[in-house]
Amino acid sequence: MALPVIPRGEMPPDETLAFHKHVCPPDFGGPNPDPLNPDLILSRNLLISIDLLLPENARVPMWIIEDPDDPVNGRVFPSKTIRIPRGALVNALVGCEGGTHTIHWHGIEPTPMNDGVGKHSFEVDGNFVYQFQPREAGTYFYHCHKNTVLHFEMGLYGLLIIDPDVPGAPFTDGGPGFCAAFSPATNHVIPYDVEAFWVADEIDSRWHTLGHDDFMQECDPENPVDPANFTQDGFLNDFRPDIFVVTGIPRRVNNPSPFSAADDPLFGPLVAPALQAGQTLLARILNAGYTIQQFTLGIDAEVIAMDGHALGVPPFQQYSSPFRLPAGTPFRLTTAMRHDLIITPASPGIFPVTIEYFHSVSGRRLFTARTAITVI
Ligand SMILES: [Cu+2]
């Protein structure tokens, strides 16, 4: 039986914009519509163009989100990590240049107005003050959600870490600090000594010649479902990465040299951490690319959190629990997934960490990144 077609009826002119926002997000800017007194104010500008230097002395153009208040490390790839104590009310002053952008606080779940998904609200023209209050400590990330497939690939993302609201938070990248984990005796907050960031990404050099709006779906408010408007993908549906990245440290596909602490003064020690036997390592892992990434550690670990949620911690995760990951057990993350691992080496040694990148369509292994945990 054919279902009756319900005619749409007349569209009042003042509702047209909202009706078509999934095709043509409106632009908006200025102060927050529901301002509260913030506990923490931060600033970010996008986009900023920088070059990523390859070991062969070649350069890849990147777009990053800058911290204008940090003249030393404010312009880095990945974009500078944001750390916020859980429960702090944040005002994020975001400035946009060279076209509209957004910042999506991935996993935080603020109101649609503050979520930075342009197609659910608006894209920022000029500047906007995002306001949010993270309710769970864990590993998140922030990224631009305008022409997302391209802008995210170009480098418009960074880690967003919600630290537990304990004295000393927010903590310094690399540790020591405290994180959320199942531990009833300590109110589900545990200490760590050293912190690793394994933010795995890939670069398709061809994409890094593109412009801000390239291959965007055509915006036609009068006919948003016209099939002709959905054929503008260019080669964004054909991902052929030739450079592989771990937390901003790049390798060409034919360069098998390990990722070491000496690769970069800022990110190297976070990729190839060193600690003493008996200390605790917290490894925050993010798939910030478009391949399927398989991680294998040569040392026992415990998975304490996934996607910003500490396993087993009431009231939200009372039906999950942390679990052991014996040495040599691979696990896979797809785009945007996070795992937090706790590693407590009992004796010295150099323990290998490999990240294998598999193409999401063909399943073919494209690259293997090798680094290590050094225990002294
Ligand atoms: Cu953008």
Per-residue exposure over 278-299, b if at least 16 CB sit within 10 Å of its own CB, e if not: ebbbbbbbbbbbbbbbbbbbeb
pLDDT in tens, 102-139: 999 999 999 999 999 998 899 999 999 999 999 999 99
C-alpha–C-alpha distance, residues 141 and 247, integer Å: 13
* pLDDT at 358 > cutoff 70: yes
Distance from the CA of 211 to the center of ligand 1, in angstroms?
Answer: 11
Distance from the CA of 152 to the center of ligand 1, in angstroms?
Answer: 7
66 is a domain residue: yes
What is the predicted pLDDT for the residue at 102?
A: 97
For 165: left if phi > 0, alpha if psi spans -120 to 50, otherwise beta; the answer is beta
What is the predicted pLDDT for the residue at 9?
A: 77
Tell me, what's the ipTM?
Answer: 0.90
189 is a domain residue: no
Q: Of 224-228, 281-285, 331-335, where does mean pLDDT reach its minimum? A: 224-228
Q: Does 162 share its domain with 247?
A: no
Q: Does 150 share its domain with 274?
A: no
291 is a domain residue: yes
Q: Does 154 share its domain with 259?
A: no
Q: Which domain holds residue 265?
A: 199-204+239-375
185 is a domain residue: no
Q: Does 129 share its domain with 273?
A: no
- When pLDDT is averaged across residues 71-87 and rounded to a whole number, the result is 97
- When pLDDT is averaged across residues 34-52 and rounded to a whole number, the result is 97
139 is a domain residue: yes
Distance from the CA of 179 to the center of ligand 1, in angstroms?
Answer: 31
Q: Does 144 share its domain with 257?
A: no
Distance from the CA of 98 to the center of ligand 1, in angstroms?
Answer: 9
Query: How does residue 222 score in pLDDT terms, banded at 50, 70 and 90?
Result: confident
- When pLDDT is averaged across residues 190-212 and rounded to a whole number, the result is 97
* pLDDT at 13 > cutoff 70: yes
What CATH number does residue 154 fall under? Answer: 2.60.40.420
Out of 147, 169, 191, a domain closes at: 169
C-alpha–C-alpha distance, residues 64 and 50, integer Å: 7
Q: Does 153 share its domain with 28?
A: yes
361 is a domain residue: yes
Q: Does 258 share its domain with 130?
A: no
Contact of 197 with 173, CB cutoff 8 Å: yes
Distance from the CA of 285 to the center of ligand 1, in angstroms?
Answer: 23
294 is a domain residue: yes
Distance from the CA of 132 to the center of ligand 1, in angstroms?
Answer: 20
Distance from the CA of 315 to the center of ligand 1, in angstroms?
Answer: 35
Out of 150, 169, 188, a domain closes at: 169
- When pLDDT is averaged across residues 192-221 and rounded to a whole number, the result is 91
Structure tokens at 375: 């225990």
Distance from the CA of 103 to the center of ligand 1, in angstroms?
Answer: 8
Count of C-beta atoms within a 10 Å radius of residue 41? 12
Distance from the CA of 100 to the center of ligand 1, in angstroms?
Answer: 7
What is the predicted pLDDT for the residue at 161?
A: 98
Q: Does 371 share its domain with 247?
A: yes
Q: Does 156 share its domain with 249?
A: no
Distance from the CA of 158 to the center of ligand 1, in angstroms?
Answer: 13
What is the predicted pLDDT for the residue at 375?
A: 98
Distance from the CA of 102 to the center of ligand 1, in angstroms?
Answer: 6
What is the predicted pLDDT for the residue at 22?
A: 66
Distance from the CA of 208 to the center of ligand 1, in angstroms?
Answer: 14
Output the average pLDDT for the chain.
94
Q: Does 275 share its domain with 162?
A: no
267 is a domain residue: yes
Distance from the CA of 214 to the center of ligand 1, in angstroms?
Answer: 12
Percentage of the chain exceeding pLDDT 90: 83
Q: Does 142 share its domain with 281?
A: no
- When pLDDT is averaged across residues 131-156 and rounded to a whole number, the result is 96
pLDDT in tens, 304-328: 999 999 999 998 888 999 999 999 9
Number of independent structural domains in the chain: 2
Distance from the CA of 213 to the center of ligand 1, in angstroms?
Answer: 9
Q: Of 142-156, 233-247, 267-281, where does mean pLDDT reach its minimum? A: 233-247
